[in-house]
């Protein structure tokens, strides 16, 4: 999320993640389970595929903005390495092509949600604009352009996400407890 200083960058990173992660996850599953590649051989193969796909993603994201790849720089290839790490750590739990594709799409959508929200907030605060359009009453915060601000925003976003998950889990637990009490009370009568 460090490179997501504008909404265009956030959308571009999200598209690149989809282009890289979905095929990489499917390839890693094919290599491991269908072709029985050992990890020591499969990992370099899907790593090279992920880097190749990151390079190809340029042709998708350049439609957002021609200079987008210059502003993303190395972060585009770091994104590819994240896809490789994801493929390695989730590979043992995923056993079908459909499951691999579904997991990659869910991961990409979560990434896109975080990237778009964080990049939109950063663009508004750093540049007083959104998608390049200047806002009428810009609120400027010069530090929002800096990489540390992206890390801070990601930390806040992650903490908020965890809080919502815990809240929903607690609400589900309370509903289950209430349903059990209601059922128990009905049996007594």
Lowest mean pLDDT among 22-26, 47-51, 137-141: 137-141
pLDDT beyond 90 at 112: yes
pTM over 0.75: yes
What integer pLDDT is reported at residue 186 of this predicted model? 60
Token pair of 24 as six digits: 């990489």
pLDDT beyond 90 at 174: yes
Residues 57 and 51: their CA atoms lie apart, in Å, by 10
pLDDT beyond 90 at 38: no
pLDDT beyond 60 at 55: yes
**Block residue for tokens 């997991």:** 103
Q: How does residue 87 score in pLDDT terms, banded at 50, 70 and 90?
A: low
Residues 103 and 107: their CA atoms lie apart, in Å, by 6
């Amino acid at each position: 999320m460090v490179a997501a200083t504008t909404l265009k960058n956030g959308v571009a990173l999200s598209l690149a993640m989809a282009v890289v992660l979905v095929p990489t996850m499917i390839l890693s599953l094919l290599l491991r389970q269908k072709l029985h590649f050992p990890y020591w051989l499969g990992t370099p193969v899907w790593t090279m595929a992920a880097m190749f796909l990151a390079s190809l993603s340029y042709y998708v994201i350049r439609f957002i903005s021609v200079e987008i790849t210059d502003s993303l720089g190395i972060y585009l290839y770091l994104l590819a390495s994240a896809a490789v790490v994801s493929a390695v750590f989730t590979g043992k739990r995923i056993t079908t092509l459909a499951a691999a594709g579904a997991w990659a799409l869910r991961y990409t959508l979560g990434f896109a949600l975080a990237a778009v929200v964080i990049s939109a907030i950063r663009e508004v605060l750093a540049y007083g604009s959104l998608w390049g359009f200047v806002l009428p009453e810009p609120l400027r915060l010069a530090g929002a352009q800096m990489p540390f601000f992206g890390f801070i925003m990601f930390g806040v976003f992650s903490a908020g996400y965890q809080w919502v998950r815990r809240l929903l889990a607690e609400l589900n637990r309370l509903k289950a407890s209430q349903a059990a009490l209601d059922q128990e009370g009905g049996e007594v009568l």
